[in-house]
Amino acid sequence: MAAKDLVESTISENKITIFSKTYCPYCRRAKTLLTSKFPNVETKIFELDEMNEGSEIQDYLLEKTGQRTVPNIFINQKHVGGCDAVVGLDSKGQLAQLVEANSPSTSKL
Ligand SMILES: N[C@@H](CCC(=O)N[C@@H](CS)C(=O)NCC(=O)O)C(=O)O
């Protein structure tokens, strides 16, 4: 599957999508925060450093979001940003409401 199709289909099929790298401390922090706070929410994590198409995915994410660093996080189809962004939302008490919101693709049903 082309990088663009993989990114777009994953974002649309999961409440939380995290593009990560296994050795990245910011990724580890964001993954721990999201998976521990929302253990029952559909979450897909891609470890780009372990994927053949990892750099292609990272190039597409740069094109799509303007962000090249990992983690690159989407919640309910919305680009949220990296670790700093999710930690910031959590400390403002806004993370849960973003995760629990109906996704745009289902809210019209
Ligand atoms: N402030 C960013 C820092 C993220 C960051 O610096 N990530 C590093 C990996 S630890 C990165 O993406 N480096 C470029 C790369 O791996 O291509 C955040 O909060 O997410």
Q: Calculate mean pLDDT across residues 84-89.
A: 98
Ligand 1 centroid to Cα of residue 62, in Å, is 13
| Residue 9, helix vs strand vs coil | helix
- The tokens 């995915």 sit on which residue? 57
Locate 83 and state its tokens.
């670790």
The number of distinct structural domains making up the chain is 1
* pLDDT digits 0-9 by tens, 48-83: 999 999 999 999 999 999 999 999 999 999 999 999
The boundaries of the domain holding residue 95 are 2-108
Average pLDDT, the chain: 94
ipTM for the whole complex: 0.98
Check which CATH number belongs to the domain holding 77 and give it. 3.40.30.10
pLDDT band, very low/low/confident/very high, at 102 (cuts 50, 70, 90): confident
Q: For residue 15, how far is its CA from the centre of ligand 1 (angstroms)?
A: 22
* Helix residue spans in the chain (DSSP H): 3-13, 25-37, 54-65, 83-91, 95-100, 104-107
- Please say if the pLDDT value at position 109 is more than 50: no
